[in-house]
């Protein structure tokens, strides 16, 4: 009874998709469940020929409702259990698939409750796209839970419209909710440019709980999407439907957790009035947030790195020579050179200096060292 992952690695480049994929394959390996990645109906048909009579499942993890409908149509002729592992909501009136979904209301409730406990009165939602199914859910839950007029700074998939709206806002804002960590990293760069002491005036909270959110300074408070447990639940649905023939489908709503960090340490923030910073046009915003462009690449590198890779990064941040790093890790200098070259390729850095500067920009060596120690147990 195999599981088929509808997965095209060339198109699935976001950290969230990679995390979903890893969480499933790790769980399947633990439970000894056969699985195959397929990127076309033809591939699936060939595999199913070998497993006739067995109860099989196919997992979709679409980025939008439109993509979900497209995939359902594309694979409609196959008699398999269909499972959606997706972050956006689904139409519960449809009964021809199972789903694993994040708890949007619960996530937002955790976020806003945490900020209120810190004394925040005016909470803004930053960079939500009203044309995105996922972001509309964020907007709707945000509006239901706040007790003041909505402070919404919307986008068209780029940060510039939301940033320009924020800079024109003449209301005092105590806290900002960002739709994901990578938007928050952009905002942190802008806040640094506007006021180096921003973290002593305003709180910042995001969704997704990336690895980088715990390593940057100040570290970013974030709410996890809980994709690791989501991978376990894919296996649970697959096994349950196979064993219980009376069940046609099952749905699971994932509970997320808050990772409180430095960006919400402050009690009773005095807030910020962004219009007081003056004009901030498109070009200035673009130049300010340029260092964020490689955050997603760095996140993926961190996710796939072994302890020794993290230790090499730590050495580079500290300014250690390759020979010294090799000595510390009991590896050859050529091995260190090879891995550093791979880091540069992955992060699209043209030189070792550019690589080191990028690591220093986003990673605190003390926090990285702590993470390495924790990973080693």
Do 233 and 280 lie in a common domain? no
Return the residue matching tokens 């500067």: 357
Q: For residue 89, is the peptide bond before it cis, meaning its omega torsion is within 30 degrees of 0? A: no
Count of CA atoms in the C-beta half-sphere (13 A) of 136: 9
Are 367 and 218 in a shared domain? no
* Cβ pair 69, 37 in contact under 8 A: no
Judge if 250 and 273 occupy the same domain: no
DSSP character string of 113-153? HHHHHTT---EEEEEE-TTSHHHHHHHHHHHHH-SS--EEE
The answer to the question of residue 236 being in a domain is yes
pLDDT at 27: 92
Most confident of 39-48, 72-81, 126-135, 215-224: 215-224
Distance from C-alpha of 120 to C-alpha of 140, rounded to nearest angstrom: 20
- Is the pLDDT at 41 greater than 70? The verdict is yes
Number of domains in the chain: 3
251 CB contacts (<8 Å, ≥6 apart)?
92, 98, 99, 100, 101
Q: Are 173 and 287 in the same domain?
A: yes
* pLDDT exceeds 60 at position 66: yes
Asked if residue 300 is part of any domain, the answer here is no
**Tokens encoding 63:** 């980025």
Would the pLDDT of 1 be above 90? no
Lowest mean pLDDT among 53-62, 338-347, 355-364: 53-62
Question: Quick check: 19 pLDDT over 90?
Answer: no
Q: Are residues 269 and 149 in the same domain?
A: yes
- Across the range 155-168, mean pLDDT stands at 89
Same domain, 111 and 140: yes
Tell me the torsion sign for CA atoms 232, 233, 237, 243. positive
| Average pLDDT of span 274-283 | 81
Q: In terms of domains, do 201 and 75 share one?
A: no
Indicate whether 90 and 112 sit together in one domain: no
Distances in whole angstroms, Cα of residue 308 to Cα of each of 95, 320, 340, 358: 47, 15, 12, 19
CATH code of the domain containing 113? 3.40.50.2300
Residue 298 belongs to some domain of the structure: no
C-alpha dist (Å) from residue 295 to 16, 127, 185, 189: 13, 17, 8, 12
* Residue 296 belongs to a domain: no
Range picked from 20-34, 126-140, 199-213 for highest mean pLDDT: 199-213
Owning domain of residue 83: 3-102+226-254
Where residue 313 sits, what CATH number does that domain have?
1.10.10
- Label residue 142 exposed, middle or buried (CB < 10 Å: 0-12, 13-18, 19+): buried
Answer yes or no: do 148 and 266 share one domain: yes
pLDDT for the residue 95:
63
Q: Which stretches of 32-173 are assigned E, i.e. beta strand?
A: 35-38, 57-60, 81-85, 98-102, 123-128, 151-154
pLDDT at site 174: 98
Mean pLDDT of the chain: 90
Please report the pLDDT score of residue 21 as a whole number: 86
Measured between its terminal Cα atoms, the distance across the chain in Å is: 35
CA 57 to CA 39: how far, in whole Å? 15
What pLDDT is recorded for position 227?
Answer: 76
Q: 21 in a domain, yes or no?
A: yes
Residue at 111 is within a domain: yes
Does the pLDDT value for residue 3 go beyond 70?
yes
pLDDT at 87: 60
Q: Are 94 and 130 in a shared domain?
A: no
102-120 pLDDT, tens digit each = 888 899 999 999 999 999 9
CA distances to 15, 302, 359 from 363, rounded to whole Å, are: 17, 11, 6
Residues 233 and 96 in one domain: yes
Residue 93 lies in a domain: yes
Nearest-angstrom CA–CA distance, 191 and 175: 12
pLDDT band at 10 (very low <50, low <70, confident <90, very high): low
Q: Which of 13-17, 34-38, 303-307 comes out lowest in average pLDDT?
A: 13-17
73 phi and psi, to 5 degrees? -65, -40
- Please report the pLDDT score of residue 69 as a whole number: 83
Strand order in the sheet with 35-38: 35-38, 3-6, 57-60, 81-85, 98-102, 251-254
To the nearest whole percent, how much of the chain has pLDDT over 90? 64
How much is the pLDDT for 272?
Answer: 97
Nearest of 77, 7, 73 to residue 38 by alpha carbon: 7
Q: Mean pLDDT lowest for which of 60-74, 84-98, 254-268?
A: 84-98
Question: Do 75 and 214 share a domain, yes or no?
Answer: no
Residue 94, pLDDT > 70, answer: no
Res 93: pLDDT: 61
Residue 72 lies in a domain: yes
**Is the pLDDT confidence value at 341 over 80?**
yes
Interval 181-198: pLDDT, tens: 999 999 999 999 889 999
- Count CA atoms closer than 13 A to 176's CA, side-chain side: 35
């Amino acid at each position: 009874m195999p599981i088929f992952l509808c997965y095209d690695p060339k198109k699935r480049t976001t950290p969230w998709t990679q995390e979903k994929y890893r969480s499933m394959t790790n769980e399947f390996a633990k439970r000894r469940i056969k699985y195959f990645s397929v990127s076309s109906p033809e591939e699936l048909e060939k595999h199913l020929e070998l497993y006739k009579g067995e109860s099989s499942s196919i997992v979709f993890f679409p980025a939008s409702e439109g993509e979900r409908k497209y995939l359902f149509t594309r694979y409609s002729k196959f008699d398999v259990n269909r499972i959606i592992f997706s972050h956006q909501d689904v139409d519960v009136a449809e009964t021809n698939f199972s789903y694993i979904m994040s708890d949007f209301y619960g996530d937002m409730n955790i976020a806003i409750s945490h900020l209120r406990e810190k004394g925040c009165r005016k909470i803004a939602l930053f960079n939500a796209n009203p044309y995105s199914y996922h972001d509309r859910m964020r907007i709707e839950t945000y509006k239901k839970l706040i007790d003041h007029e909505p402070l919404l700074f919307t986008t068209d998939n780029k940060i510039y419209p939301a940033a320009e709206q924020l800079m024109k806002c003449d209301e005092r804002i105590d806290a900002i909710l960002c739709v994901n960590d990578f938007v928050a990293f952009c905002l942190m760069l802008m806040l640094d440019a506007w006021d180096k002491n921003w973290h002593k005036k305003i709180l910042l909270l995001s969704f997704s709980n990336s690895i980088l959110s715990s390593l940057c300074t100040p570290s970013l408070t974030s709410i996890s999407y809980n994709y690791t447990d989501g991978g376990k639940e894919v296996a649970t649905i697959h096994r349950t439907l196979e064993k219980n023939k009376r069940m046609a489908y099952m749905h699971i709503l994932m509970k997320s957790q808050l990772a409180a960090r430095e960006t919400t340490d402050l009690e009773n923030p005095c807030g910020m009035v962004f219009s007081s910073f003056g004009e901030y046009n498109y070009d200035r915003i673009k130049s300010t947030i340029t260092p964020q462009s490689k955050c997603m690449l760095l996140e993926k590198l961190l996710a796939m790195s072994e302890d020794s890779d993290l230790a090499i990064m730590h050495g580079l941040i500290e300014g250690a020579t390759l020979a010294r790093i090799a000595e510390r890790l009991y590896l050859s200098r050529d091995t260190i050179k090879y891995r550093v070259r791979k880091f540069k390729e992955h992060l699209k850095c043209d030189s070792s200096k550019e690589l080191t500067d990028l690591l220093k920009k986003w990673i605190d060596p003390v926090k990285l060292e702590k993470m390495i120690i924790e990973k080693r147990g």
